[in-house]
Structure 1
Amino acid sequence: MAGGVIHGSGRGRRSQRYRPLSEINVTPFVDVMLVLLIVFMVTAPLLTVGVPVDLPETEAQMISDPQEPLVISVDREGSVYLQDTNIDLEKLVPRLIAITGSNPDAKIFVRGDRAIAYGRIMEVMGLVNAAGFKKVALIAEMPRDKGASKQGSGG
């Protein structure tokens, strides 16, 4: 009989000590969110870059316009891109007309790699101009650091 009493009291103690955990552990959630934040911070700038083009530098002022223009890029190999899509030169003008609705005042920017022949860029600009688009501009990169380039070339 004494054995039954010990057995019963042992169970009673266990059930009294055991309580379900009612707090939510947010540490793993915070860890996962911080990792995702870092991943998105690293990849976001890479997603906004279009066609990789090494633009020449210029002293001209930046264009600030709320309306986003169409961008035609010519890469190092001479391939033509409309926004981020590779396109044949023969299909460029019909695609521009379709996108702009034959609006001659649509703004079109032409980006050309500094290693590409000037004639290829002028060929693209000539096609766009001949199609009736009046607002066509070349895009260049702002100088990174004027002071450093002057110091480096002086000595």
Structure 2
Amino acid sequence: MAMGLPNRRGRRAPMADINITPMVDVMLVLLIIFMVTAPLLVTGVPIDLPDSKAKALQSDDVPIQVSIDSGGQVFIDQQKVPGANLAAKLAALRGARRDEARVYVRADRALDYGRVMQLVGEVSAAGFRKVALVSDQRAATASESPAETSATNQP
């Protein structure tokens, strides 16, 4: 019964209750802010990826992402790299990593196949041996019918 009532000596006892309603309100506001901003943090270079039925690769390490948009501009991990500096930048990344780093090549579907292969060749020439092409799996699985699914799962 420590509700601020006088004790025997005439002093008031300290109030031991905590009002948690304001704290819950603040936490809910922070939760909403994080829910709204989290999808904005994962967006990268806007590229219209081609569709694929391939499964996603499972890995623990963070790969290097080399992207090329429909205008032919090349990005390494969301940083624009001029074409003349691409080989030097890739060589510097290769030298900075001791292990076998994986490189994901993301190319816009509107690009010429030769331009994409030229970029893959530059990545390979820089010394990277684990190079993978990224495609959009969600669009392929959404357009796939059940009959196609069962046919692709059979050996």
Q: CA deviation at 1:71?
A: 0.8
> Which residue identity is paired with 1:147?
S
Q: CA deviation at 1:23?
A: 4.5
Q: Please say if residues 104 and 133 of structure 1, whose CA atoms lie closer than 8 Å, have aligned partners that are also in contact.
A: no
Q: Any stretches of 5+ residues in structure 1 without a counterpart?
A: 1-19, 151-155
Aligned-pair RMSD on alpha carbons?
2.8
Q: How many residues align?
A: 133
Q: Which has the larger radius of gyration?
A: 1
For residue 145 of structure 2, what is the aligned residue in structure 1?
147
Q: Please say if residues 72 and 111 of structure 1, whose CA atoms lie closer than 8 Å, have aligned partners that are also in contact.
A: yes
More helix by share: 1
TM normalised by structure 2 equals 0.71
For residue 22 of structure 2, what is the aligned residue in structure 1?
28
Paired residues for 1:47-86 under 5 Å = 47-86=41-80
Paired residues for 1:1-155 under 5 Å = 23-101=17-95, 105-142=100-137, 143-145=140-142, 146-147=144-145
DSSP 3-state at the match of 2:145: helix
Which aligned runs of 4 or more in structure 1 are off by greater than 4 angstroms? 20-24
DSSP 3-state at the match of 1:58: coil
CA distance in 1, matches of 2:62, 2:75: 16
Q: Please say if residues 91 and 127 of structure 2, whose CA atoms lie closer than 8 Å, have aligned partners that are also in contact.
A: no
> Which residue identity is paired with 1:54?
D
Identical amino acids, percent of aligned pairs:
45
